[in-house]
């Protein structure tokens, strides 16, 4: 569903810029106000769910220092396997563009 979300927004509105701009504004607000709020943010993985060196959107505690902590909600084995598979696709895509 998430993979196709951008297309669904684009089909309905003709573009996705407003959604992206709203998300960026919210993250900036959390940093500026040191809100220490949990937001989904693309961050470099450092072992979360057995994944290293790939940027993934994960729930993060966000405050004045940016990402203060990456949260790792419990995932089922199938969910973890799917996340690792997605991360591997991203890794391969990044390597192909180098």
Query: Beta 66-70 vs 52-63: how paired, if at all?
Result: antiparallel
Residue 63 is predicted with a pLDDT of 98
* pLDDT, position 13: 58
Residues with Cβ < 8 Å from 46, sequence gap 6 or more?
52, 70
With a cut of 70, which residues of the chain have pLDDT below it?
1-16
**Would you state the pLDDT for residue 44?**
97
Per-domain residue ranges for the chain?
Answer: 2-97
What was the pLDDT predicted at 48? 98
What's the DSSP call for residue 14? S
Say what the pLDDT of residue 1 is: 58
Give the architecture (CATH level 2) of 2-97.
Answer: Alpha-Beta Complex (3.90)
**Four-residue CA torsion sign, 65, 25, 49, 75:** positive
Handedness of CA 72, 73, 75, 79 (dihedral sign): negative
């Amino acid at each position: 569903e998430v993979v196709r979300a951008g297309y669904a927004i684009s089909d309905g509105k003709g573009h996705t810029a407003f959604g992206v701009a709203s998300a960026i504004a919210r993250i900036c607000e959390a940093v500026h106000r040191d809100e220490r709020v949990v937001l989904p943010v693309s961050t470099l993985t450092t072992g979360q769910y057995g994944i290293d060196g790939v940027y993934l959107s994960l729930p993060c505690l966000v405050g004045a220092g940016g990402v203060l902590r990456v949260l790792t909600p419990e995932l089922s084995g199938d969910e973890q396997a799917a996340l690792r598979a997605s991360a591997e696709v991203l890794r391969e895509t990044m390597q192909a563009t180098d």
